[in-house]
Structures are given as C-alpha cells and as structure tokens.
Amino acid sequence: MRLGGQTAVVTGGAAGLGLAIARAFTREGCSVALLDVDGVKAAASAVELAADGGQAIGITGDVADAGSVEAAVALARAGLGRLDILVNCAAIVDFGG
C-alpha cells in the first residue's frame, strides 16, 4: 500500500504498457483513471482492475485534443476526488512503410 490514498491518471491506460502501469498502481493502493481514445476498452479495463480489488475508472479522451484532455481531467477529478500522479503512455504506433 505504498501508494494508498494517491490517485493517478494513466493515458493510453486501456491496454498494453499503460494498463500494466495502472495495474501496478492499483496493487499498491492507488486509485486510477484510465484515459484512452478507446473509451469502451478503458471502461472494460477499469472493471477488470476493480475485479482484482483496485479502484479504477475508464475515461474516453484524446491526448492530441486539448479540450478532450480538459474534459477528461474534470471527469477524473469528479470520479477520484483529486489527482496526484500523471503517467503519459498514450501513443500512436504506425509500423507501415
């Protein structure tokens, strides 16, 4: 419970590295908002973390859009009460040539 009472927003938190970071945070007692362009996946991942005993919420947001980020932060604050930690893990991967 090293992060007990802390809250975090993890961008790109619906899957991959972002979700792994969020999972580690919840195991340490941190509440987490998963911010992702795929809001359905963010919500499903939040349910998965909650089933494992963590506190998590999923939020739809696009880090490339300032208005979307502002709205997402407001939702995260409303859902978690405060924000202590931000992990920027959102990325666009294009392996095309």
pLDDT in tens, 7-59: 999 999 999 999 999 999 999 999 999 999 999 999 999 999 999 999 999 99
Ramachandran class of 46: left when φ > 0, alpha when ψ lies in -120 to 50, beta otherwise? alpha
Rounded to whole angstroms, the Cα distance separating 97 from 85 reads 36
DSSP-derived secondary structure letter, 37: S
Residue 53: CB atoms within 10 A of its CB come to: 9
Rounded to whole angstroms, the Cα distance separating 19 from 54 reads 13
Burial (CB < 10 A; 0-12, 13-18, 19+), residue 71, is middle
Q: How confident is the model at residue 97 (pLDDT cuts 50, 70, 90)?
A: low
The pair of structure tokens assigned to 17 is 């590295």
pLDDT at 91 (0 to 100): 80
